Structures are given as structure tokens and as C-alpha cells.
Structure 1
Amino acid sequence: MWQGVIPAVTTKFTPEGRLDAAEMQRCFQLQMEAGCDGLIACGSLGEGPMLSHEERLQVLKLTKEVTGPKPALLTVAEAGTREACQLAEAAAKAGADGLMVVPSTIYHTDARETAANLRAIAAAADLPVMIYSNRIAYRVDVTTDLLEELADDQRFVAVKESSDDIRRCTEILTRLGDRYDVLTGVDNLAFEALCAGAHGWVAGLVVAFPAETVAIYRLVKAGRIDEARSIYRWFRPLLDLDVSTYLVQNIKLVEALAIGSNDRCRAPRLPLAGERRAQVEAVVRKALETRPALPKV
């Protein structure tokens, strides 16, 4: 149902800290023009937890205006199941094509609680759901066993696999076949996951380098592995910026340098400064200087 490159877009702010609709529309459009297959609003990279429900619904509506017939998903990542269900229901009314759902972000649920949490949210929205499994960042592992348990609910259609274990993609596909679309959610494991059979890539650095991201995905799917690998090796230093406590600040700075956007964040985050900023700028400068020509695919 959801395959290809689906960016987890950033949320743009004005200097006063309000949502910057015009800049979001511009940046989102760059993704779609490059051939992306949908957009995910208000995830970790989109600073969703720093936004009110009302703001998240505004970003969703902007996202849907740009994606057109392609899917626009809203991320649901709440501490409590009640609040998650409220947001999920509101997203459905606001026109979301589906949800990306993170299990409870504060209390680290066990398997029984995780299943109950996910089922409640899916029922509240009655929309297709991508389960976000990220045991590193959120300390809740949606294992293959748990995916098998949830498979009886057809609203669960996909999993964003971010366990940081490349073996997990193969494990899910081997045991569950085509029951779920498996999308890799770790930028600097994307080539490996796609070669292992992942159906798509929920990408981060795509927001600054959409053409290169789409090219890697399409080349792998076309069996042109050497060409995809060559681009990926060039891309890796940038992709490593996604795997960091500072991924939001990192990627927003890359956007500022690569596509002329800005790196404003919602507090308590602040834009990068000092040595850390200089390091990211150096990575981006080198990437821009050595940017490869992309083959037709």
C-alpha cells in the first residue's frame, strides 16, 4: 500500500516561532517534484512532540495539499493512549490518508501494552497505519512476534523498521511475507535494507537531497545495484547526520545550505552552533562539491 520514498518532512517556523506555511509548501513541493511517493508530517524530524494538536493538524492539511493523490500521513506519538486516540480521530477528520504510530513515548510499554495501545489508536482513526518500530529512540521494540500478533487487524498495513538491526527486515519478510509493507527508517542503513527486500524508505536527508534519495531507491528496485551503491557511498556522510541526538538541527542546517531554507527549530532545540555547526557545514560543502550526476532510471 505504501512503498517507495516517503519523506519524514521538517516543520518550518517563522522568526517569531509560528508555523511557516509558505516555506513548508515550497519544501514539500520539492519532494514531490523529485518523485517521492508521499509525505509524513510531524514525526521525530518534524518536531511533532513540540507542536500542539492544532498545529499538527495544520501541517497535515498543508502536506495533503501538496501530495494530491499520493498519501499524506500524520505521525501520532503521544505519551497516553487517550491523547493518541484523540489525535488519530482528529487526523482522520482532517483528511489524513493514514497514520504513522509510535507506541507510548514516555512509559515504555511491554508487548501486551504495546499491542493494546496500537490497536486502540488504529480503531480510533479507522485509517491505515504504519507502525513505527524504533527501540533505540523510544525504547519500545515492535518485534516480529508482535507484528504477527497484530496481523489480524487489516488497518496495520506497514512498518517503519528502525531497530538498527539490518537482519530485522529479512526476518519480517521471511516470516510474514507480503502482510506488511516494510519501510526502512534508518538513513544510513537504507541501501542495505532495500537490497534485503524492503519495500520503501522513510527518509530524512531526502528533504535536502530528494533526487539522490529517489535515484537510490529506483536503481535498487531496477536491479542496478552498482549505480545505486555509488550514489549511496557519496551520500553516506550526509545520511549519518540522521542518526544523532541532533538529527533535527543537523538536517535543518543541511536544508538551509542545500535548498535555501532555514534551520529554525522549536525550543528547547536551538540551531547548531560552534564546532558542531562547523562540522555539519563541512560535510555539506564536500557533498555539494562532489555531487554526482544521476543516471536516468
Structure 2
Amino acid sequence: MGTFEGLVAFSVTPTRPDESIDEDRLCAHIDTLIAAGVDGIAIFGSTGSIGSFSEAERRRVAEVTTKHVGRRVPVAIGTGAMTTAEAVRLSEHAEKVGADALLVVPITYWPLNEAELCAHYRAIASATQLPIFAYNSPVLTGVDMTPNIIVRLWQDGRVKYLKESARDLLRIPQVKEATEGRLRIFGGRDDSIVEALRLGADGWTSGAANIVPRACRRLFNFANDSQNEFAAHILQRRLAPLMSFLMDKGHVSVCHTALEILGRPIGTPRRPILPLAGEDRIHLEGILRSLEEEL
């Protein structure tokens, strides 16, 4: 079972014109990410449009991904779902097909309290032997897993990793201290990853890596080398317009549109999400032209 560290790419989910999943393009895209030097692959995170696909489709993508990666890097499979029962089924399947970890984000129409969140994660943990990558994304899910909740989940013994996408970066050292440095924390916001790493994050879970994987690899390396702090600052400034645009316009729409502009098309997002058009597309084209040396 592979251990997650460093730069983990949260892969997009390519589609065909009829909105079915394009497995060939998914495999080709994963190859591009691995060749660029990412340390791990995650499917069905937010950038992978987790809420856009059925349980059967998600099972199939898990099978295709784990087989194609073939242990070249660790693979985390997103198994978050509206109900605990579905999340358990997806998690059991992920273990069966060879995943290295479960990526679990709370997906719910109803706000969940602390007891409900903990019971949900415990049920998933009881169903498999895989480590869990807890994913806190309050802006997208409407559920904020506070440091106290994260620490409770870690104390249960199966949550080994955290993708922290809350705006408050000071949660990183807070959780780090409360878990005695044993919970591996990954910065989940592309626009502030250097700051997250300096505050104690162990790694970076990146949607931007779909577009500029080599630049993300370099930025991560610079940010973790005290002798390259200036280089990290310069590269972060170069990437800042793209990172901010991703946060403002949505990772799914931006990634699908950017890859089409760059000649690496992966199809359009599944509706109701749409690719960028008009002034937004023109603005993205300009950002990508300014990053030609980084592509």
C-alpha cells in the first residue's frame, strides 16, 4: 500500500461528446501527470467532478485508474457520497480494486453536526482496512470539519491524511500540534500553497496540476527548500493569476477549458457545469499565454 506525500494531483474526469466518461483520455491524462513528476493521483475529488457521476460510473473509473496506474504512484479514490451506505459501498469497492487510500468528503444537502460526521467516517472506516484521506472543503460542501472534529476522527485511528481547503491557514499548525505531527496534512488551496507549506503542511493536493503539472512540481520543490525561498516566491507570483482564476471561476470549468485551449482536450464538464465562454475564456487564454514557459 503506497503512502501519500508531496504533490498529489486531483485529476479531472474526461468526457466524450455524449457526456459518458472517456477512459482512454483519462489514462492518457494520468500518464501526463505522472510523467510530470506528481507523487500521487486522486480521482473524484472536487476537480474530478465527484458529484456529477453515478455510483456505477465511479466504480468503473476506480477500476480503470488503479489498473492503469499500476503502482507507479499511490492512488486515492474519492468515495464521498450523499448517504453513508453508498460511501461504504464505494469504499469497499475501492479497496477491492487496489486503492491506496479513500478520499472522503462529506456530501450532503443537510448540514451535518459533529456526531453525524464522526458516525459517517467511522462507518466508512469499519468497512475497509484502507487509510482515510479526510477532505474538508466548506465552501463547496457547506460542511466545515473544524480542527476539533478532525482531531476526533484522527483519534479513531483510521484518518491518516487531511486535505485542508478552509480559508483559515492557521488551522494547519493547530491540527498539526493537536495530532502530534502524526496526521499528514495537505494544503488544498492552490492559491496559497507556499504559505500552507510554511505553516506546516506536509504536501499539496492540487487541481492546478491538471493544467501546469511541471510548474506545480517545481513550486512544491522550491517551497520545501530553504535555499530556494526566493525562487518559490517568483514562481508563485507567475502562477498567481491562474491559481486565483481557478478559485474564482471553479476548478472544473477552468481545467476542462484550459486543457482544450492547450490542445489536450478532455471534453466538457457534465452539465449543468459548463466550460468557460466569452470574456472568461478570453481571459484564461491570456493567462495561459503568459505561462507558456511553464507549460
Length-normalised TM-score, structure 2: 0.93
Q: Which structure 2 residues correspond to residues 62-81 of structure 1 after superposition, within 5 A? A: 62-69=64-71, 70-81=73-84
Structure 2 equivalent of residue 18 of structure 1? 20
- Aligned partners of 1:49, 1:92: CA distance in 2, in Å? 21
Length-normalised TM-score, structure 1: 0.92
Q: CA deviation at 1:237?
A: 0.7
- Aligned partners of 1:192, 1:262: CA distance in 2, in Å? 31
Any idea what the Cα deviations from partners look like across 1:97-154, whole Å, max 9, x if unmatched? 1111012322210111111111111212331100001122112121221122222332
Asked if the contact 1:9–1:204 (Cα under 8 Å) also holds between the matched residues in 2, the reply is yes
Q: Given the superposition, is the C-alpha separation of residues 230 and 46 from structure 1 closer, same or farther in structure 2, using an over 3 Å criterion?
A: same
Aligned AA (1:56): R
Structure 2 equivalent of residue 252 of structure 1? 256
Q: Given the superposition, is the C-alpha separation of residues 244 and 62 from structure 1 closer, same or farther in structure 2, using an over 3 Å criterion?
A: farther
- Aligned partners of 1:104, 1:26: CA distance in 2, in Å? 29
1:241 pairs with 2:249: no
Q: Which structure 2 residues correspond to residues 1-297 of structure 1 after superposition, within 5 A? A: 1-69=3-71, 70-223=73-226, 224-244=228-248, 246-258=250-262, 260-288=264-292, 291=293
Q: Given the superposition, is the C-alpha separation of residues 277 and 292 from structure 1 closer, same or farther in structure 2, using an over 3 Å criterion?
A: closer
For structure 1, the 5+ residue unaligned runs are none
Ranked by relative contact order (alpha carbons within 8 Å, sequence separation 6 or more), the top structure is 2
Any idea what the Cα deviations from partners look like across 1:67-123, whole Å, max 9, x if unmatched? 332211111221111121121112212222111101232221011111111111121
Any idea what the Cα deviations from partners look like across 1:151-190, whole Å, max 9, x if unmatched? 2332210000011111111111122222210001111011
Asked if the contact 1:241–1:251 (Cα under 8 Å) also holds between the matched residues in 2, the reply is no
Aligned AA (1:181): R
- Aligned partners of 1:154, 1:66: CA distance in 2, in Å? 30
Asked if the contact 2:66–2:97 (Cα under 8 Å) also holds between the matched residues in 1, the reply is no
Structure 1 segments of 4+ aligned residues over 4 angstroms from their partners: none
Identity of aligned residues (%): 28
CA RMSD across the alignment: 1.7
- Aligned partners of 2:30, 2:170: CA distance in 1, in Å? 32
- Specify the SS of the correspondent of 1:19: coil
